[in-house]
Structure 1
Amino acid sequence: MKSKLIFFFALAVTLISCGPTIYKVADFSEVTAKHKTVAILPTEVSMQLRPNEMKKTSPEQLNQMQEQTGKDIQDKMYAWFLKRSGKFKYTVTFQDISRTNALLAQANLTYATINTKTKDELARLLGVDAVISSRATMKKPMSEGAAVALGLLVGAWGNTNNVQTSISINEGIKGDLVWKYDYTASGSVGSNTDNLVNSLMRNASKKFPYNAK
C-alpha cells in the first residue's frame, strides 16, 4: 500500500512539473495599450535525432527539415488565430504570414538568420507593434514532408511523442519580453503539427493576453 502511495505521489509530481508555465509582465496592459498589429515569426525548431539517424542525415538535410517544420507550425498558429478571432475577440490583428515571410526575405533574412535581429528590429522591419516567436524541441519531425524526408533517409517513420514548446510576445519599441508560455506536449498530442498547435493554443488561449474576454 505504501509503495502505491509513493508511486502515485511521484506520478503527481511528474504531471505537475510538465504543466504549463506562464510569465506576464506586471504592466502588460499599459505596455501594449496601443498595439494594433502583431506578427507571427517562423517557429525555431530543434530536432534531436538518434545517433543512427544523425549518421545518415547531413547538416543541410537537418536544417531543411527544421525549417519546414518551423514554417508549418507558424502557418498552423496563424490559421488557429484566424479561425477563433470571432470567439475570443482579440484586441489586435495578426499580420498575414505571407507578408511577414516576404518582408523577411526582402531584408535578406533567412530562417537561420532571423535570430541575428533583435525583436524590436524585427517589429520595425515588419511594421508591427509586437512579434510572437515560438520554439519547439522534438526528437523527430512532425510536419508530414519532413517526416517523410527522414523516413526516406534512415527508415524512421514514427513521429515524436514529446515536444517542449514555448510562445513569447515581445513589444516592438524596445523589444522587451512581455509574455511567455511554456508547454510540454506529450502522447498523441505530439504526433503532428496540427495536434501540437491545437493543444498548445487551446491551453494558452485562456491566458493569452490579447484576448478581450
Structure 2
Amino acid sequence: MKRDLLLLPVLFFVLFTSCAGHKYYTSSSFDQQTARHKLIAVLPAEMVFTGTLPKNLSPEDIALIEETESRTFQNSLYNSILRHANGRKYYTSINVQDIGTTLKLLEENKITIRDSWKQDDRQLAKILGVDAVVRMRIQKKRYMSDLASMGVNMGRQVLYQLGAGSRFPFPYVSDKTNDIYASCNVVSNNQTLWNDNYQRGADYNNPSETVIYDITDNFGKHFPYKKRS
C-alpha cells in the first residue's frame, strides 16, 4: 500500500508531462519541398457545425453566419502568422499573400468562400499564384452570437435592398461557441507538409474575437517556414 502511494506522484508527473507537450506534424521532406517557395496564401476557414441549429435560422442565415466566421478566422490567422513571423532567434522565409488579394482572385475566378473549402488545393494555388495554401478547419457545436448577429445583419441589409427584408426576421442565436476543434494545414501539390490542431471549450464570458485570437495565435506560434537568424 505504501509503495503504491509513493508511485502516485510519479504517475501524475508522467501524465502531466505527456499532456502538457504540444505536438504538431511537419513532413520529413518539408525543407526540401519548400526550398523554392516564395509566397503562400491563407484561405477562408472551413466552418463545420455539429450542433443543433438555433430556431428561426433560414439556410440563407446559416450561409451568412458561416461565411462571416470563415472570413474572420482567415483574417485572424493571417495576422497571427505575421505577428509571429520574426523573433530574436528566427525569421520567416516566406511571404504571405494579402487577404484582400486572395479574396479578389477567388471572386474573379467565380469561387465563393464556401466553394474554396472543397476546391482542389493545387488548382487554388495556381489561381492564386502561390506555392502553397494554408487551410484551416473549424468544427464547433454552437454559433458565436456576436459574429452570427453581424452575419445576419449584413444579410438583412442585402435582403432589405432586394425588397425581401420583411420575410427574414432577426433570428435568436445562442450564446458563445463551445467545444471547438480546429486544425491548420500547409498544403503544396496536394500534399500536407505541416499540420497543427487545437481543441478547447470556449469561455462563455469571452467575446468571439478572443476565442478566435486564442486559436489562431496557437497556429501562428508554431507556423513553419522559420529559419534561425
Letter in 1 for 2:85: S
How far 1:86 sits from its partner (Å)? 3.5
Alignment-derived partner of residue 153 in structure 1? 171
Letter in 2 for 1:177: T
**Structure exhibiting the larger radius of gyration computed from Cα positions:** 2
Tell me whether 1:196 sits opposite 2:226 in the alignment.
no
- 2 CA distance for matches of 1:50 and 1:146? 15
Q: Does 138-147 or 57-66 show the bigger shift?
A: 138-147
SS for the counterpart of 2:226 is coil
- 1 CA distance for matches of 2:132 and 2:220? 18
Alignment-derived partner of residue 133 in structure 1? 135
Letter in 2 for 1:67: E
- 1 CA distance for matches of 2:206 and 2:177? 6
| Residues 143, 173 of structure 2: 8 Å contact kept | no
Residues 14-72 of structure 1, C-alpha deviations (whole Å, 9 max, x = no match): x94x9855222111100011111110000001223425x1x421122112101110001
Letter in 2 for 1:167: C
Change in CA separation of 1:186 and 1:21 when aligned onto 2, cut-off 3 Å: farther
Tell me whether 1:65 sits opposite 2:83 in the alignment.
no
| Residues 77, 220 of structure 2: 8 Å contact kept | no
| Residues 37, 130 of structure 1: 8 Å contact kept | yes
SS for the counterpart of 1:136 is strand
| Residues 81, 223 of structure 2: 8 Å contact kept | no
Letter in 1 for 2:78: Y
- 1 CA distance for matches of 2:181 and 2:219? 14
Count of aligned pairs between the two proteins: 199
**Which structure 1 residue ranges, 5 or more long, are not aligned?**
none
Alignment-derived partner of residue 38 in structure 1? 40
SS for the counterpart of 1:209 is coil
- 1 CA distance for matches of 2:47 and 2:22? 19
Alignment-derived partner of residue 183 in structure 1? 198
Map 1:1-213 → 2, pairs under 5 A: 16=19, 21-50=23-52, 53=54, 55-87=55-87, 89-142=91-144, 144-147=146-149, 149=152, 152-154=170-172, 156=174, 158-171=175-188, 174-188=189-203, 191-213=206-228
- 2 CA distance for matches of 1:189 and 1:34? 44
Residues 150-199 of structure 1, C-alpha deviations (whole Å, 9 max, x = no match): 9x41252x10132110000001xx22111111110223399445323432
| Residues 160, 190 of structure 1: 8 Å contact kept | no
| Residues 19, 184 of structure 1: 8 Å contact kept | no
| Residues 147, 208 of structure 2: 8 Å contact kept | no
- 1 CA distance for matches of 2:204 and 2:219? 15
The alignment's TM-score, normalised by the length of structure 1, stands at 0.79
How far 1:116 sits from its partner (Å)? 4.4
Cα RMSD, aligned residues only: 3.1
- 2 CA distance for matches of 1:143 and 1:32? 40
The alignment's TM-score, normalised by the length of structure 2, stands at 0.74
